[in-house]
Structure 1
Amino acid sequence: MTSVPRILVLGIGNLLWADEGFGVRCVEALAERYTLPDNVTAMDGGTQGLYLLPYVEEAQCLLVFDAVDYGDPPGTLRVVTGSEVPRFMGAKKMSLHQTGFQEVLASAELLGRLPEELVLIGCQPVELEDFGGSLRDAVKAQIEPALAVAGEWLARWGAPLAPREGAGPRLNEGSLEMANYEAGRPSEQEACRFGDARFLQEG
């Protein structure tokens, strides 16, 4: 590895499915609160799957935030590293984005372009079947610990985090930022657990 490695910090998942948005919320918070060195890229990978391959291939160190079904108690944070990362990504798929990202890692390895260091910071979800919902409290409470773990790895890779003065860059449209997203959620009486009027359109 070179003295200044290219580092990709990736949040993956679907903001629209409650705790599936954990990874994206983590990388958003990282970009907003900290100034990242020039060799570090923070990205909302969403559910893009193989479209992420070029970014992964360019990185020497890859850190991924995601909601992962480890079979742990809901809200549990677990850190997986190295060759264990692809295995855990495919252990129990919750959605297509995990299948897609497992394919990204497999493709990068086949091409000889897999990052030298891999870290997965995952949280066991509480609730997924809530279209338009936000993170449950137990999962939201793990954002800060996840960022602390990420900071330790980035420092180990020679890219320590520095608290940012003022607001950082947005990785998403303003209406999707967590506070705005939650504020726009209809009341429990008005909302349908399996659909949110903000995302449903009449045919």
Structure 2
Amino acid sequence: MTAHNTVSILVMGIGNVLWADEGFGVRAVETFNALYDCPETVSVMDGGTQGLYLLPHVEACDALILFDAIDYGLPPGTLKIICDEEVPAFMGAKKMSLHQTGFQEVLATAEFLGWKPRRRVLIGVQPAEIDDYGGSLRPIVDAAIEPAIASALAELEALGATVRRRQAPVEALGPDALDRALYETERPSAAEACRIGDPRFIDIQAGD
């Protein structure tokens, strides 16, 4: 625990924005960062698909609030919150991509090295579609961002962190090329870009 019993909190989103709903965690934390100004005790981070590179950041926090798309086996767009010791198990339950394998390893390694967080919260949404390369969040998953952020705000309040609405724009967490507005408006049409892979191989498989 940090000095004077102050809780160091990491608010992080993980996922891959290139695969539709798999980008939920990143888009959620980007939206959170754009809307809210946090005290020095709260770090806000786009963890993307960095895997073990995130270990130092996790080890440095006393509380972790994580946004991600999780295959809970529930209806698409369902928001489900998992806390504390249950978080690693759900990260590895039904892996949708390598980023979840990587982050499960981050949690396991951090604990092996002595990380004992005061609080761990996984704010996850059931994806509707991930097999859409270059795709955006589906509307039902996009709609879960607002309640997901509300859940994060409640957790921050419970941890004693005072968060305020921003009065001015802030620098984006990720690269400009992946800014959501730019990324979605410049997306080629389905007629111009194959969404699920190389059409030559798809045609071959269809003919087998």
| TM-score when normalising by structure 2 | 0.91
Cα distance in 2 for partners of 1:168, 1:6 equals: 22
Secondary structure at the aligned position of 1:165 is classed as coil
Aligned counterpart, 1:193: 195
Residue 203 of structure 2 corresponds to none
RMSD: 1.3
Superposed CA offset, 1:85-130 (max 9, x none)? 0010011000011011000111111111142210000000011111
CA distance in 1, matches of 2:38, 2:171: 11
Instruction: Kindly report which structure 2 residues correspond to 1:155-170, keeping only aligned pairs within 5 A, or say none.
Output: 155-170=157-172
Query: In structure 2, the residue corresponding to 1:63 is in which secondary structure?
Result: strand
For 1:84 and 1:169, the matched residues in 2 are separated by: 34
Mapping 1:13-162, distance limit 5 Å: 13-162=15-164
Task: State the Cα distance separating 1:186 from its structure 2 match.
Answer: 1.0
The answer to whether the 8 Å contact 1:130/1:194 transfers is yes
The answer to which structure has the higher helix fraction is 2
**What is the rounded CA distance, in whole Å, between the counterparts of 1:27 and 1:61 in structure 2?**
16
- TM-score, length of structure 1 as denominator length: 0.93
Larger Rg, first or second structure (1 or 2): 2
Q: Which runs of 4+ in 1 moved over 4 A?
A: none
Task: Decide which moves more: 6-15 or 110-119.
Answer: 110-119
The DSSP-based 3-state class of the residue aligned with 2:146 is helix
Q: Percent identity?
A: 59
How many residues are treated as equivalent by the alignment? 196
- Pairwise CA distance, 1:154: 0.5
1:6 paired residue number: 8
- In structure 1, distance between residues paired with 2:155 and 2:116: 18
